[in-house]
Chain A
Amino acid sequence: MIGIIARKELRELVRDGRLRLVAALVVLLLLASMAFGWRQAAAVAAEREAAQRTADALWVDQGDKNPHVAAHYGKHVFKPSGALAFLDPGVDPYLGVTLELAAHQRTLPRDAAAGDASSLARFGTLSAATVLQLFVPLLIIALGFGAWSGERERGTLRQLAATGVRPRQLLVGKALGVSGALGLVLLPAAVAAGGVALALGEGVAWSRLAALLPSYLAYYAVIVAITFVASARARSSRAALVALVGFWSVTCLVLPRLASDAAPRVAPLPSPDAFAAAVKRDLETGLPGAPREDRVEAHLGALLEREGFEGAENLMPDALLQGFELQAEAAFEDEVFDHHVEALLDAIARQERVSQWAAALSPYLAIRALSSGLAGTDFAHHRAFQTDAEHYRQALVRALNEDFARNAGDEGWRYRAGRDLWARAPAFEHAPPDLRWALRHNAVALTLLLAWLLLAWAAAGFTAQRVRVVG
């Protein structure tokens, strides 16, 4: 029974010339945006790899110098782009990619692509994700707004009801029909996405790609159910259509912007000046309740104890003590940086969570967060990169200071290390977190999407039981 209904629905949809045209346009747009994303992702990956090689070479070829001076010179690292950025660039364009790692400073990534965009940037990017998240729901609405109301207007719903078909069967049949039509649109896209992922080569996150598929299907199932509810309850097809387009524009246009305005009010960030001033102040005086001198002293004490020089400062070679002092100072500075930068990143993360919670009002926001999380292009992934880089920076500075302490001897500041030492520093590697980590960081969005799914289908089932057969 269900199969018969589904086949009839699909046949009706496929025979509609205008729908065919629209579906073809969506497929075209999807493939074009994916091709563009592919080009972009390949170019970005090549560019960053090349830049990282140059930066590493600059580090190794910096010439002979005192190790601590080399720590001042520092090293640049570049953020590798997200695993599936070609599908969903997420918030990557708004995040910095260049990080300068050097002694006495913890910087924030800079050179976000958004800084160099034309004034069209306000319209957003036309990525595959845009098409999948914004356009396909409208296609579903176009496919399904008349599913019930149209039958009622034509009078065929009466005849269907008279055959004794159960409402639930009708509902499932119609849903399958619309899904079939949608599948015809999405199948080429899914194949193309797999192809591009394969072509981009190493580091393909197949598990992430595989997780994206059910996420999008769940999103579309929500839209199908909502479309059916509107179609069954509305006075007429046109009323259903108007209501659905209204729902789409509120959830896909208005709410994201309202959430965007609400986020800084919920979790305000310090102004750039205030942030810099606070860091500078605390570097000079120490964090509240932990004066600078005390902390440096404590770090130095711990260091001396660990190295077995406790109470023997006067007997130590000057350079060794100086090296330890440099390291104690660096440890203090890291405390200050960690305190301020982590507070800042926490505030940004809270802002991101506001957007995720807003998904309670908009399924679009749920899939937007989930999709960029799975694509590895959300803020959580960016923060993971920053954390890795900071650990690397601290280790690098520590190694250089220790080399100074141990090997300077009588030369003191005149001591020079060379290429051997620079080359011994390991290359910076950032392995993107795995799928489970990504899901955990988008648990809110995932839960809300599932809640939408359950509620929308419960409403669709409820409505189908009580659908008016005659207008």
Chain B
Amino acid sequence: MLWTVVQVEGRNLLAERGAWWLFGLLAAFVAYAAWSGASSAAAHRAATRAAVEEEDRKLADLRAQLAAIEAGGPDAPHAEDPADPALVGAGLGARAVALPPTPTASIAAGQRDAHPAVVRLTTQSRLAQPPRGDVALRGPTSQRAGPFDLAFVFVYLLPLLIIALTYDLLAGERERGTLALVLSQPVSLATFVLGKSLQRTMVVGGATVVLAGGALLLSADGLASADGAVRAGLYLAALLAYATFWFAAAVAINSRGRSSAGNALALVGLWLALVVALPGLVRVVVEATYPPPSRVELVNLARSAASEIEEELSALEGDHGAEPDESPAETRARLLATQEALDARVRPVVQRFREQLEAQQRLVDRLRFVSPAIAVHEALVDVAGTGAHRQQRFEAQVDAFHGTWRAFFAERVRAGRPLASADYAALPTFTFEDEPTGELAARVGLGLLGLLVPAGLLLAFSASGLRRVGRLA
């Protein structure tokens, strides 16, 4: 019985030219988003790799230079001495670190563009002097609109496709007059609606899996790992759960017995509320609850802290203010100490920034259940590794590594011990410890509940409506 409905529904859909257009359009959007996502993820990967390798090459050059001097070669100019730990640490050499992209990075650009791609670490204070105004690769209007990535296609456009296919699921039958004939047969309205929506869910679900899976296969980089497979699985699961939610919403609205135009308006209204308005409101709430401290005040704070040691700083910036009665070694040790002091002064404020942003994200984790669009978006950026959780993890690890990096040089500066070429081999290296896949899966899985539970509630709600046959026929 159910299968009969599914079959006829399939034939009806095949004959619908509009449906072919819609699927064609979705396929085109997905294909473009996959290409665009892959190319920007690849560009990002290449740019970070180049920057990291550039700094590594500089360090290798210094090491080779030092080895040559050790072998009896001519000395380097005073300001470029590869054996001077203060100079090398202060910027002659640097360690560039970057958040490594996940295999599934092409799914969602997330906040990738909002953070510097590469962080260069020296013995200078990192907290007091954030990167100078970074050149973004996109103009502000482009940043504002956001990229055309897979997350956009699925979060925004997939529900619209589902709405276009389902707004007249039942109302259309009633308006055409076929519903009365169907209901004069020994078939319950619930079975009929279930059959119809099942067919469409299968078609859309199948199309989503094929398109989304294909897009990922074409655009991903290194899916073969266990981590990559889990991410790909979570991605498809999130999309299917999201599609299920929208089908449930369409069935629920159809069960109220309004006209198809009324259904379409109600569904578009729901879409606008859940996908556009609520995320915006949640963002307002989140930012008002945990406002980050002011960046512009931080600028002044760092400056007034620095101004107390301005004399020392000016020595580094040029030759104009050198203190004549101090040995160069003493100056360097003191400059290093001032950088450390500067970090210590600014750290509480920066820490407050981090805490507020982490608190914001924790609140988002809770409030994502308010709207399925937020839930699925969070799931997608988490899977793509371009979300706030991973970024904050990276920040914390960079901070710790910066301490290690500086300590390496500080120890030698304070002891007045020059660098040997062998020391270069012992320079600390940075490896990003990614979140365990299990934790990621747990968080994303919880988010999927935020899609499936409302879907279940909506279906339960529609069951009551579908029992009152008369109003609908």
Q: Touch between A and B in complex, CB under 8 Å?
A: yes
Q: What is the CB-to-nearest-CB distance from B2 to chain A, in angstroms, rounded to a whole number?
A: 27
Q: How far is it, in angstroms, between the C-alpha of A428 and the C-alpha of B46 when the chains are bound?
A: 41
22 contacts between A and B (CB under 8 A): A48-B296, A58-B304, A72-B320, A76-B300, A96-B133, A98-B296, A108-B135, A110-B134, A115-B115, A116-B357, A118-B388, A135-B277, A241-B261, A257-B145, A260-B146, A261-B148, A272-B134, A348-B139, A349-B139, A355-B139, A378-B141, A382-B140
Q: Which of B66-74, B268-276, B428-436 contacts A (4 or more CB under 8 A)?
A: B268-276
The contact of B148 among A113, A118, A260, by CB within 8 Å, is: A260
The contact of B280 among A55, A123, A238, A270, by CB within 8 Å, is: A123
Q: How far is it, in angstroms, between the C-alpha of A253 and the C-alpha of B167 when the chains are bound?
A: 20
The contact of B157 among A90, A110, A249, by CB within 8 Å, is: A249
Q: Are A125 and B265 in contact (CB under 8 A)?
A: no
The 4 A-B pairs of least Cβ separation, nearest first, read A126-B280, A108-B133, A351-B139, A123-B279
Q: Given contacts A119-B387, A273-B51, A351-B138, is CB(A257)–CB(B146) below 8 Å? A: yes
Q: How far is it, in angstroms, between the C-alpha of A66 and the C-alpha of B373 when the chains are bound?
A: 59
Q: Given contacts A62-B310, A134-B276, is CB(A379)–CB(B268) below 8 Å? A: no
Chain A residue contacts of B36, Cβ below 8 A = 261
Instruction: Verify if B12 is at the interface (C-beta below 8 Å from A).
Output: no
Q: Given contacts A121-B114, A264-B137, A272-B134, is CB(A78)–CB(B387) below 8 Å? A: no
Q: Given contacts A22-B269, A123-B279, is CB(A114)–CB(B143) below 8 Å? A: yes
Q: Mark B354-380, 1 if CB is under 8 A from A, else 0.
A: 000100110010000000011001100
Q: Which of A138-146, A158-166, A310-318 contacts B (4 or more CB under 8 A)?
A: A138-146
Q: Are A241 and B264 in contact (CB under 8 A)?
A: yes
Q: Are B300 and A68 in contact (CB under 8 A)?
A: no
Instruction: Verify if B398 is at the interface (C-beta below 8 Å from A).
Output: no
Chain A residue contacts of B374, Cβ below 8 A = 120, 123
B51-65 at interface with A (beta carbon < 8 Å): 51, 54
Q: How far is it, in angstroms, between the C-alpha of A98 and the C-alpha of B134 when the chains are bound?
A: 12
Instruction: Verify if A36 is at the interface (C-beta below 8 Å from B).
Output: yes
Q: How far is it, in angstroms, between the C-alpha of A18 and the C-alpha of B144 when the chains are bound?
A: 33
Q: Are B148 and A257 in contact (CB under 8 A)?
A: yes
Instruction: Verify if A437 is at the interface (C-beta below 8 Å from B).
Output: no
Chain B residue contacts of A96, Cβ below 8 A = 133
Q: Are A47 and B294 in contact (CB under 8 A)?
A: yes
Q: Are B135 and A51 in contact (CB under 8 A)?
A: no
Q: What is the CB-to-nearest-CB distance from B431 to chain A, in angstroms, rounded to a whole number?
A: 22
The contact of B140 among A73, A95, A98, by CB within 8 Å, is: A95
Q: How far is it, in angstroms, between the C-alpha of A120 and the C-alpha of B307 when the chains are bound?
A: 37
Closest to A118 in B: B360
Chain A residue contacts of B378, Cβ below 8 A = 119
| Residue from B111, B297, B388 whose CB has the most chain A CB atoms within 10 Å | B111
Q: Given contacts A242-B164, A257-B145, is CB(A119)–CB(B381) below 8 Å? A: yes
Closest to A54 in B: B300
Closest to B287 in A: A118
Q: Are B132 and A72 in contact (CB under 8 A)?
A: no
Q: How far is it, in angstroms, between the C-alpha of A437 and the C-alpha of B259 when the chains are bound?
A: 50
Q: Assign chain B's interface to a size class.
A: 35 or more
Instruction: Verify if B142 is at the interface (C-beta below 8 Å from A).
Output: yes
Q: Given contacts A110-B131, A119-B387, A125-B280, is CB(A73)–CB(B314) below 8 Å? A: yes
Q: Given contacts A55-B300, A118-B357, A119-B361, is CB(A261)–CB(B139) below 8 Å? A: no
Instruction: Verify if A275 is at the interface (C-beta below 8 Å from B).
Output: yes
Q: How far is it, in angstroms, between the C-alpha of A256 and the C-alpha of B148 when the chains are bound?
A: 9
Closest to B148 in A: A257
Closest to A68 in B: B320
| Chain A interface, DSSP helix/strand/loop, else mixed | helix
Closest to B142 in A: A260
Q: How far is it, in angstroms, between the C-alpha of A130 and the C-alpha of B118 when the chains are bound?
A: 33
Instruction: Verify if B198 is at the interface (C-beta below 8 Å from A).
Output: no
Instruction: Verify if B82 is at the interface (C-beta below 8 Å from A).
Output: no
Known: A115-B115, A273-B47. 20 other contacts (CB 8 A): A18-B262, A54-B297, A108-B132, A108-B134, A120-B283, A122-B146, A123-B276, A238-B168, A238-B259, A241-B261, A245-B264, A249-B157, A254-B148, A259-B145, A260-B141, A272-B135, A273-B54, A275-B135, A344-B135, A351-B142
Closest to B175 in A: A238
Q: What is the CB-to-nearest-CB distance from B314 to chain A, in angstroms, rounded to a whole number?
A: 5
Instruction: Verify if A172 is at the interface (C-beta below 8 Å from B).
Output: no
Q: Are B296 and A111 in contact (CB under 8 A)?
A: yes
Q: Given contacts A66-B320, A119-B377, A120-B282, is CB(A47)–CB(B364) below 8 Å? A: no
Chain B residue contacts of A245, Cβ below 8 A = 160, 264, 268
Q: Are A126 and B140 in contact (CB under 8 A)?
A: no
Q: Are B140 and A118 in contact (CB under 8 A)?
A: no
B119-137 at interface with A (beta carbon < 8 Å): 130-137
Chain A residue contacts of B353, Cβ below 8 A = 116
Chain A residue contacts of B300, Cβ below 8 A = 51, 54-55, 58, 76
Closest to B120 in A: A273
Instruction: Verify if B334 is at the interface (C-beta below 8 Å from A).
Output: no
| Residue from B117, B136, B261 whose CB has the most chain A CB atoms within 10 Å | B261
Q: Are A269 and B138 in contact (CB under 8 A)?
A: yes
Instruction: Verify if A124 is at the interface (C-beta below 8 Å from B).
Output: yes
Chain B residue contacts of A99, Cβ below 8 A = 133
Instruction: Verify if B24 is at the interface (C-beta below 8 Å from A).
Output: no
Q: How far is it, in angstroms, between the C-alpha of A257 and the C-alpha of B314 when the chains are bound?
A: 47
Closest to A270 in B: B135
Q: Assign chain A's interface to a size class.
A: 35 or more
Q: Given contacts A124-B144, A126-B283, is CB(A29)–CB(B277) below 8 Å? A: yes
Q: Are A110 and B135 in contact (CB under 8 A)?
A: no
Q: Are A58 and B296 in contact (CB under 8 A)?
A: no
Instruction: Verify if A109 is at the interface (C-beta below 8 Å from B).
Output: yes
Chain A residue contacts of B318, Cβ below 8 A = 69, 72
Q: Are A122 and B131 in contact (CB under 8 A)?
A: no
Q: Are A118 and B145 in contact (CB under 8 A)?
A: no
Instruction: Verify if A4 is at the interface (C-beta below 8 Å from B).
Output: no
Instruction: Verify if B260 is at the interface (C-beta below 8 Å from A).
Output: yes
Chain B residue contacts of A146, Cβ below 8 A = 261
Q: How far is it, in angstroms, between the C-alpha of A263 and the C-alpha of B141 when the chains are bound?
A: 9
Q: Mark A93-109, 1 if CB is under 8 A from B, else 0.
A: 11111111000000111
Q: Are A119 and B364 in contact (CB under 8 A)?
A: yes
Instruction: Verify if B257 is at the interface (C-beta below 8 Å from A).
Output: no
Q: Mark B81-123, 1 if CB is under 8 A from A, else 0.
A: 0000000000000000000000000001011001111100000
Instruction: Verify if A237 is at the interface (C-beta below 8 Å from B).
Output: yes
Q: Are A118 and B146 in contact (CB under 8 A)?
A: no
Q: Are A111 and B295 in contact (CB under 8 A)?
A: yes
Q: Given contacts A116-B357, A120-B374, A123-B276, is CB(A78)–CB(B296) below 8 Å? A: yes
Q: What is the CB-to-nearest-CB distance from B128 to chain A, in angstroms, rounded to a whole number?
A: 12
Instruction: Verify if B50 is at the interface (C-beta below 8 Å from A).
Output: yes
Q: How far is it, in angstroms, between the C-alpha of A135 and the C-alpha of B51 when the chains are bound?
A: 43
Q: How far is it, in angstroms, between the C-alpha of A344 and the C-alpha of B135 when the chains are bound?
A: 9
Q: Are B136 and A72 in contact (CB under 8 A)?
A: no
Instruction: Verify if A431 is at the interface (C-beta below 8 Å from B).
Output: no
B152-175 at interface with A (beta carbon < 8 Å): 152, 156-157, 160, 164, 167-168
Instruction: Verify if A413 is at the interface (C-beta below 8 Å from B).
Output: yes
Instruction: Verify if A402 is at the interface (C-beta below 8 Å from B).
Output: no
Chain A residue contacts of B136, Cβ below 8 A = 94, 269
Q: Given contacts A94-B143, A119-B364, A124-B144, is CB(A269)–CB(B276) below 8 Å? A: no
Q: Mark A231-272, 1 if CB is under 8 A from B, else 0.
A: 000000110011001100100011011111101100101111
The contact of A135 among B108, B265, B272, by CB within 8 Å, is: B272
Q: What is the CB-to-nearest-CB distance from A437 to chain B, in angstroms, rounded to a whole number?
A: 19
The contact of B139 among A142, A263, A271, by CB within 8 Å, is: A263
